[in-house]
Amino acid sequence: MNYRSTRDASLAVSSAEAILTGLSPEGGLFVPESFPELTLGELTRLAELPYAARAAEVLSLYLTDFPRETLDSCVRAAYTPEKFGGVDGIGLAGVGRGTWLLELWHGPTCAFKDMALQLLPHLLTASARLLDCDRELVILTATSGDTGKAALEGFRDVPGARILVFYPEDGVSPMQKRQMTTQPGGNVHVCAIRGNFDDCQTAVKQIFTDPELAARMTARGKRFSSANSINWGRLAPQIVYYLSAYSQLCASGELEPGEKVNICVPTGNFGNILAAYYAKRMGLPVGKLLCASNRNRVLSDFIATGVYDKNREFYPTASPSMDILISSNLERLLFELSGRDDGLLRGWYASLAETGRFEVPAAVKARLQSEFWGGWCDDDATRATIRDVFERHTYLCDTHTAVALHALGAYREATGDARPTLVASTANPYKFTGNVLSAIAPPRSRDEYAQIEELFDISGMEVPPQLAALKDAPVRFAGSVAREGIRAEVERVLGIGNRG
């Protein structure tokens, strides 16, 4: 199977090239040429396999240039019970009738990003081998908090790879910051940016598509790649858990095979919900896809109006991993909804770059609304939802998951659609202890680790040992650079400056 660019559909590359390159040279994103379909029998039989084997089955349909043994060894190395705290990596928790939380945060860094980022380094190094590329891979990553840590863990001390992470200095939770600034590993670099996530992502995308810089990298035996969800190798593994969860619920008798479910996802860069849409295209019986935003509601406004407009105030919120106004993967959805019209996409994204907005025609908006529903809530409603879920179900959820549960409640009330629903639960609550604790009880201490103990005393939920262990870890990466300084910092760290 080949991959096309959303902004130049005449371009066709293999999956290994798409993964190694990350972003297409003209700025578009790689998308599969077609969507492989699973029959209902194939779908429900996934439940008979361990998670790693389910991943290999699904990924083999997309990464057709990977020998099957290569793929098998990649997934076996990524999805081990040691790394994911259990045989199947994901937990399924019922909260009320017909609502299941897909707990995607049992991996090493306690956020759903591990589901893809434990696998991506293996896919990337395998792609480099398939393409006879022996240059050092430099993974540039912009993060709203969770991608950074998950990518650092995935790539630390991987031979032939180096990783540089940029995060917004004041835009991540204290635990997210601690996780990144204490990161061990000989090939890692972490840098705080005086700006927001969009600034980080935009700078990184510019570096990727700069031909002069690419030439300098080649001359030094290096090449850039991406660990952000702009990389196809990040998105493909995310399709697996939706198919997997459905097969498990059929196997346990909670769903009838073929019965439709809705899927509700707390959304920032639109990667996770796009993976759910791709699962639907592969034959997963899905009704509506519910896109949940925090106060940075550029996506729910877009779904309601067909106008994407990033000219608005940016709010730091209690769900910082979704504090995003330029939602990259929406571009992949629009490519599908426009009938794969790369000319339309070029126009919309030129307009976004120039004016900060674009509007899709009525037919595209109608298709969008037939598949998606958008909801949003502010921090007060987020905390109220955490409290409500805790009181009614003795279940502690994090702030991002709470945004999704709030949107689900609003959707059910507005439409009367009571269909069973899978809700992506994207982080362990202890990553956002301050906000989660204050939702259920007034914090007695201001110290983060004292608050973790308070939250444990109230909830009885186990504190992940990898977070507890960071309490006394030494800080390796302090200081910050201005957003205009990202490129210079990359050149400095890599020793590829014009005069370096």
Ligand X SMILES: *Cc1c(COP(=O)(O)O)cnc(C)c1O
Instruction: Estimate the crossing angle of helix 486-494 against helix 197-208, to 10 degrees.
Output: 60
Q: Quote the CA–CA distance of 372 and 106 in Å, as a whole number.
A: 28
H or E element, residue 137: strand 136-142
The residue from 229, 294, 385, 435 that contacts ligand X (CB under 6 A) is 229
Residue count (the chain): 500
- Considering CB under 6 A, how many residues would be counted as binding ligand X? 16
Return the number of the residue (85 or 257) whose C-beta is nearest ligand X.
Answer: 85
Q: Quote the CA–CA distance of 192 and 17 in Å, as a whole number.
A: 30
CB of 274 to ligand X, least distance (A): 8
CB of 424 to ligand X, least distance (A): 8
> One symbol per residue from 103 to 122: x for binding ligand X (CB under 6 A), - otherwise; what is it?
--------x-x---------
Return the number of the residue (398 or 489) whose C-beta is nearest ligand X.
Answer: 398
Asked whether position 205 contacts ligand X by CB under 6 A, the answer is: no
Return the number of the residue (183 or 269) whose C-beta is nearest ligand X.
Answer: 269
CB of 414 to ligand X, least distance (A): 22
Q: Quote the CA–CA distance of 253 and 262 in Å, as a whole number.
A: 17
Return the number of the residue (102 or 494) whose C-beta is nearest ligand X.
Answer: 102
CB of 197 to ligand X, least distance (A): 10
CB-based contact 191:165 (threshold 8 Å):
yes
Asked whether position 427 contacts ligand X by CB under 6 A, the answer is: yes
Q: Quote the CA–CA distance of 240 and 51 in Å, as a whole number.
A: 9
H or E element, residue 142: strand 136-142
Parallel, antiparallel, or unpaired: how do β-strands 91-94 and 188-194 relate? Answer: unpaired
CB of 166 to ligand X, least distance (A): 15
Identify which of 162, 223, 161, 168 has the alpha carbon closest to the alpha carbon of residue 188: 162
CB-based contact 278:284 (threshold 8 Å):
no
Asked whether position 296 contacts ligand X by CB under 6 A, the answer is: no
Q: Quote the CA–CA distance of 437 and 201 in Å, as a whole number.
A: 31
Q: Which stretch binds ligand X (CB under 6 A): 59-67, 266-274, 347-355, 456-464?
A: 266-274
Asked whether position 271 contacts ligand X by CB under 6 A, the answer is: yes
Return the number of the residue (125 or 272) whose C-beta is nearest ligand X.
Answer: 272
The residue from 272, 338, 421, 480 that contacts ligand X (CB under 6 A) is 272
The residue from 266, 374, 375, 434 that contacts ligand X (CB under 6 A) is 266
Start-end of H helices in 209-261: 211-219, 232-251
Chain contacts with ligand X (rule: CB under 6 A):
111, 113, 146, 229, 266-272, 321-322, 400, 426-427
